[in-house]
Structures are given as C-alpha cells and as structure tokens.
C-alpha cells in the first residue's frame, strides 16, 4: 500500500514543536493500515501498524515507539464508542491523548501523542461509553528475549 491511498485522520503538534500526522485506510490484503509521520526540526520518522482494525473483543489497537531524532510516541485506533485515552506515566502523571472524531466509513476513532523522554509510560486507560474503563499495561522500553542458542 502506498501512502497516497491512506487518508489523513488526525493532525497534531506538541508544545515543543513536534508535529504529527496520522493516516489510515484499508490495505490491499483485506486488513487495515494506520501510520504516523512525525517531525521535529530536520528529524522525521514514519511508523505504522497493519492487521485487523481491532483485535477480537477489544476496543483499542495501539503502537508505541521512538525513532532517531524524534521523541517517544503512542498512536492508536479505537472503537467508535471510546471517549478518552489516557496514558499513565511512571511518575503517576496522566496524559490525555488528542482524539479524532469518529471516522464513519472506518467505524473508528484515532488518537496519538508525544510522550516524555524521562517519564516512561506504564499503562493506558481507555474510557468507553457507559462508564467502563479498560486498563492496558505498557512497557517502555520494550524487553526483548535473547535468541535461544541451538544445540
């Protein structure tokens, strides 16, 4: 899928000048693709996630990551009934993410935001219509398993 087949669904800028654009749309394999482009000065990065719009039974599908020269970011697509997404940081500080309106033909909302470099995220709270809040654990930086040695 090329970038030009995706549609802009969310745009934002942090107080320190990081700009981002979230693009989304169906992919050629019958799945769904969401990407985020971000820039800070001369540094730019693009990341994305494909697959099902949402995992079965879930209201959110998210990506978290960082690229050289750009800060830590989180991006997600959510069910239309999600009202708010909040990232909880290690310090206990809570950061509500900006959200798109419901994109009717996708049946989704989109959210993204810059996260601080010195206060890692520990969880994500997803507020759904009717008062339900789901909590998803986050781990940053990610822990990778060492490859097993054959023998």
Tens of pLDDT, residues 64-109 = 998 877 889 999 999 999 999 999 999 999 999 999 999 999 999 9
SS3 assignment, position 25: strand
CA nearest 106: which of 49, 29, 54?
Answer: 54
Q: Which two tokens stand for residue 6?
A: 């995706």
User: Whose structure tokens read 């310090």?
Assistant: 91
pTM over 0.95: no
pLDDT band at residue 2 under the 50/70/90 scheme:
very low
Task: Label residue 59 exposed, middle or buried (CB < 10 Å: 0-12, 13-18, 19+).
Answer: buried
């Amino acid at each position: 899928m090329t970038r030009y087949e995706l549609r802009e669904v969310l745009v934002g800028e942090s107080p320190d000048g990081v700009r981002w654009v979230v693009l989304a749309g169906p992919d050629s394999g019958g799945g769904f693709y969401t990407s985020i482009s971000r820039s800070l000065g001369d540094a730019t990065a693009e990341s994305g996630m494909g697959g099902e719009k949402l995992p079965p039974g879930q209201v959110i599908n998210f990506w978290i990551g960082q690229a050289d020269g750009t800060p830590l970011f989180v991006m997600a697509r959510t069910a239309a009934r999600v009202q708010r997404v909040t990232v909880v940081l290690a310090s206990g500080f809570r950061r509500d993410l900006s959200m798109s309106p419901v994109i009717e033909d996708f049946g989704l909302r989109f959210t993204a935001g810059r996260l601080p470099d010195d206060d890692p995220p520990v969880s994500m709270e997803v507020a759904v219509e009717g008062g339900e809040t789901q909590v998803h654990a986050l781990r940053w930086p990610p822990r990778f398993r060492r490859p097993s040695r054959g023998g």
